[in-house]
Structure 1
Amino acid sequence: MPSFKSGLKHHTIVVLESALVGLPRKLDLPGYTYHLISYPHTATAEIASRIKDATILIAVTLKLNAHLLSKDVSPKLELIDYVASGTDGVDLEACKKRSIVVCNATGASVTATHEAVQEGKWTERSVLNAMICEEVVGVIGHGAIGKRIAKLSHVLGMEGRTPFNEVLRHSTVVVVVVPRTSDSTDMISLREFELMRHNAVLINVSRGGIVDQEPATEDNCRLIGQGANLITTPHTEWSGRATEIHWMRGMPSNVVV
């Protein structure tokens, strides 16, 4: 978690998408007073006018580009709490230039993702069913979710770390759990698919752009509508109750360290 040391004792906290966050009515921020301004939804065109007085900004899905993060638009901004596992929706270079601290909700969706599997919310022919047999599970990424998947897989016999290409060559199940950055975008593309076994299952629980041609539609992916073995699901594990509880616990510690 980034260290946030503010010289201010009173903050204006602006929540741009409170319908998606579920903030508590009162935040426990010892030593600080604050004014909370909450908008259930915010259109892109409305962001600039709503953040001009914000010292702390809370967003979920909105893109915060260099223009919005400039001194002209958000002159008082000190901290962005981005309620997502990644921070690819925020222009980090623009924040760095102004010393704006950016926090995210790393690990908040781990339990929700795991419980979705445990409660049988995947299809009957799920990856867990496949892993029980003599399968080789490759986990690309070792963050909070990756560690949880690795721990579960270890119980089923998975061991050790393996070079990237070897993971692709030998795994029957490849799980991708990495943040989206300039280096990881299109990490899985034609070359990687050619390395994989013909019967391998690829599960991407990261941002869509990690796999080339995601988000997949009939316009950009020839597999859609062709009877291919392809399943796509919405990116909604962050909306689970467990995620909301973790977020509400973590938000105050992100705001004041």
Structure 2
Amino acid sequence: MSKKQEEEEPHHIVAIEAIHCKIPSFTLQTPHTKAIYNWTYPSELESRVKDATIIITTTIKLNAEILSASKTPKLRLIVILASGTDCVDKDAARARGIPICNCPSTNIDSVSEHAIGLYFAVRRRLVDMTNSVRNVPDSLDCDTEWKVSGSLKNKLKTSDGGAPLLCSQETMGIIGYGNLGRRIKNLAGGLGMNVVVAERRGVKEGEVREGRVGFEDVLKRSTVLVLCLPRTPETEKLISKEEFRVMLPQTVLINVGRGGIVDEGALVEALREGRIWGAGLDVYDHEPVGRGDSPLLGKDALGLNCVLSPHLAWFAEKTLENLQIGVKNTVEQWCLGNTINRVA
């Protein structure tokens, strides 16, 4: 097929995960068809994408098998309706010359504000406090924990007996200093926190970049540790048993980056042993999280100061608007011969 014929070939755009964001209309110079699915289960994926020239996904994985020429023979473009790109096998796409594009920086404001919200929820144990205040025993001979004890302040004491820190007393360490990390730094600084930015793990002391602090030093100094970096082979289980051992007992761990960066079993152990004060997570090793998927949902995690949100830090009206603009521009520009937002 000649290049001209290929350009005139009608596109079939398949959105396999429209549950998150409405798929916009596309204005293309050539005819095209569009199939939109709210959600796609693994058993449905192959049949839905077999004729696609463009696939739009968010978290549903496109592995090497589905990206093979036998499964998706017409595929020419993959667009991820998100910033994160770990759902697509980049090597498989690269081998066929299929570009992968994303929608960068569309959710920076929402995710950064959510990270700060998780910080306050964990530092002040807001979920636990709400449950303690609202838990009225069925027996008329008993009353709420607050009324019986007269105060719930002991719930807010750290393992070393201290009271909660104020923002002006916090040192926030940021691991992952892209656009999201920079926005979180600005918000934290506005709250009066001292902010340090971590160098990559393994960088020698004399090679630490200006404006950065050694990785290990950030772990040891931070009372708030925020993870906002992508999941790669280098960042998987970046925070595990050894890292928790050097953290402060006041430390609040926040992960709004990607699941798998924190060893969830090690986190539960650290919380139970009082090695850190608490954790707030919006992302998990396996998503969506359900029965048996994570130690964070197990019996050992009951009662721990761990606030969990279901990967919705991104969700805001402005984010939805940004995503629609981003995917529309990416598809339309690519069809004109201009590849934008390419990640692989």
What band does the TM-score fall into relative to the shorter chain? 0.7 to 0.9
Using the alignment, how far apart are the partners of 1:207 and 1:223 within structure 2?
Answer: 23
Of residues 293, 299, 314, the one that matches 1:238 is 314
TM superposition shift of 1:125:
4.3
Counting only pairs closer than 5 Å after superposition, residues 82-97 of structure 1 correspond to structure 2 as 82-97=80-95
Question: For 1:104, which of 92, 102, 105 is the aligned residue?
Answer: 102
Asked if the contact 1:112–1:241 (Cα under 8 Å) also holds between the matched residues in 2, the reply is no
Residues 22 and 233 of structure 1: CA distance in aligned 2, closer, same or farther (over 3 Å)? same
Once residues 118 and 50 of structure 2 are traced to their aligned partners in structure 1, the CA distance between those partners, rounded to angstroms, is 45
Equivalent residue number for residue 155 of structure 2: none
- Residue 27 of structure 1: aligned partner: 26
Q: What is the count of residue pairs matched by the alignment?
A: 248
CA-CA distance at 1:144 after TM superposition: 2.2
Q: Measure, in 2, the Cα distance between the counterparts of 1:120 and 1:187.
A: 20
Contact 1:116 1:122 in 2 (8 A): no
Q: Does 1:14 pair with 2:17?
A: no
Query: Under a length normalisation based on structure 1, what TM-score does the superposition of the two structures give?
Result: 0.85
| TM-score, normalised via structure 2 length | 0.65
- Two-structure CA RMSD over aligned residues (Å): 2.8
Structure 1 segments unaligned to the other structure (5+ residues): 1-5
Structure 2 residues not aligned, in runs of 5+: 126-163, 197-210, 265-283, 286-292, 339-344
Q: Matched residue of 2:195: which SS?
A: coil
**CA shift in 2, pair 1:7/1:239, >3 Å:** farther
The alpha-carbon distance between structure 1 residues 162 and 33, as it changes in their structure 2 partners (threshold 3 A), is farther
Structure 1 residue 14 displacement after superposition: 0.7
Query: In structure 1, what residue type is equivalent to 2:101?
Result: C
Contact 1:137/1:171 (<8 A) preserved: yes
- The residue that corresponds to 1:81 in the other structure is 79
Shift of 1:158: 3.0
**Secondary structure, in 3 states, of the residue corresponding to 2:27?**
coil
1:93-113 Cα deviation digits (max 9, x unpaired): 101101111112222221222
1:152 aligns with one of 181, 187, 191:
187
Is 1:224 matched up with 2:224?
Answer: no
Structure of higher CA gyration radius: 2
Residue 115 of structure 1 deviates from its aligned partner by: 4.6
Q: Aligned partner of 1:162: which letter?
A: V
Q: Distance in 1 between matches of 2:253 and 2:319?
A: 24
Residue among 208, 211, 216 paired with 2:259: 208
Change beyond 3 A, Cα 1:78–1:123: same
Identity %: 35
Letter in 2 for 1:75: P
Q: Structure 1 195/222 Cα, relative in aligned 2: closer, same or farther at 3 Å?
A: farther
